[in-house]
Amino acid sequence: MLNGMQKIKSNSINDFSKSFMREGFSAGLIEMAEKHPEIVCLGLDISKSVGVDKFKEVFPDRFFSLGIAEQNAASISAGLALSGKIPVFSTYSTFISTRSLDQIRVSICYNNLHVIIGGAHAGISVGPDGATHQALEDIAIMRSLPNMTVLCPCDVNETKQCLISAVEQISGPVYIRYAREAVPNFSNQDEKIFPGKSKLLKSGNDIGIITCGTMVYTALKVAEQLEKNNINASVLNLYSIKPIDEEATINLAKRTKKIFTLEEHQISGGMGSAVSEVLSQNFPVKIKITGINDSFGESGSPEELLIKYNLDEISIFKSILNFLDEY
């Protein structure tokens, strides 16, 4: 079986061009700003890297450059929201979720303010920047905050739709997690996303793969190889981690009786933990939670790091086969 997996080719499912998820964040932000004059944007030194530099070009009077000051950005955003604005800011997700946590918790979440936060450069695929810049704990932190909505898009199109949803469907704080590296842009550009919902991308009865973010496309590739080995897997894109789609999660567990979760995040407290919380209370089944196992990242290319931490296609394929063999 593994020999077949090692022969995966890029065109084994539809070929998709790669794009940077920040382009979706930028496109959604500008589109919403044209409709909502109350939207303002705060830049934190790396505006181009996270995709908000184009906002400054289109709306220079609504852009505020703060430099490297994440705590200030959160506090100022709270004040702007209290004044009737919809502030948006973005920087490295590891700095947002840890360095400015106090201000986000007390000033933004406690007051349930409509502030949109872009957690960019998430996961180990940040690559050479290393452990200090790789956000592996941000989902756990953000989903534990009262009033916070946590969205984790899979590509450029979905990142744009998350931004649109954050403006038009949500009235409280929103955290949108997205990666730095270019990823296959495979979702429907016109398909809206809804807080508390998910997308079933492939249906099968042998095992349910629940995933989010950059791992969604990887899960689809693995599911294709499983099918070649007579294993029919479902793939659920859980882009809304909080609120979570309980109905879809439970229904998938009822149909497959085995759930495999996959994320570019610590196992503890992440998306897999959220899935386990739902199923343990509603429909207990065998679950294999896959992610970073209580470890910091390190410097390396994204491809090297995914292999090292067993989040590449071959490692995931093997892990699923072992999981199925156990049960």
pLDDT in tens, 154-194: 999 999 999 999 999 999 999 999 999 999 999 999 999 99
Please give the average per-residue pLDDT across 32-50, as a whole number: 93
Tens-digit pLDDT profile for residues 220-260:
999 999 999 999 999 999 999 999 999 999 999 999 999 99
- The CA radius of gyration of the chain, in Å to the nearest whole number, is 19
Q: Determine the 3-state secondary structure of 92 from DSSP.
A: strand
**pLDDT grade, residue 6 (50/70/90)?**
very low
Q: What is the mean pLDDT of residues 264-283?
A: 98
Q: What pLDDT score was predicted for residue 168?
A: 97
Summarize the confidence of residues 95-110 as an average pLDDT: 96
Average pLDDT over residues 92-109: 96
- As a whole number, the mean pLDDT across the chain is 93
Domain map (residue ranges) of the chain: 18-184, 196-326
Reading the block at residue 146, the tokens are 């009262």
Q: How far apart are CA 226 and CA 59, in angstroms?
A: 48
- Dihedral of alpha carbons 113, 115, 116, 117, sign: negative
Residue 198 pLDDT exceeds 90: yes
Is the pLDDT reported for residue 152 higher than 80? yes
Phi, psi of 84 (to 5 degrees): 100, 5
Provide mean pLDDT across the span 80-88: 98
Q: What CATH fold (topology level) applies to the domain 18-184?
A: Rossmann fold (3.40.50)
Statement: 196-326 belongs to CATH 1.10.287.80:
no
Task: Phi first, then psi: give them for residue 260, nearest 5 degrees.
Answer: -120, 115
Confidence of residue 14 (pLDDT cuts 50, 70, 90): low
pLDDT of 3 = 36
- DSSP-assigned letters across all residues of 7-48: T--TTSS----EE-HHHHHHHHHHHHHHH-TTEEEEE-S-HH
Q: Residues 95-124: what's their mean pLDDT?
A: 96
| Residues 280-308: tens digit of each pLDDT | 999 999 999 999 999 999 999 999 999 99
Q: Do domains 18-184 and 196-326 have the same CATH topology?
A: yes
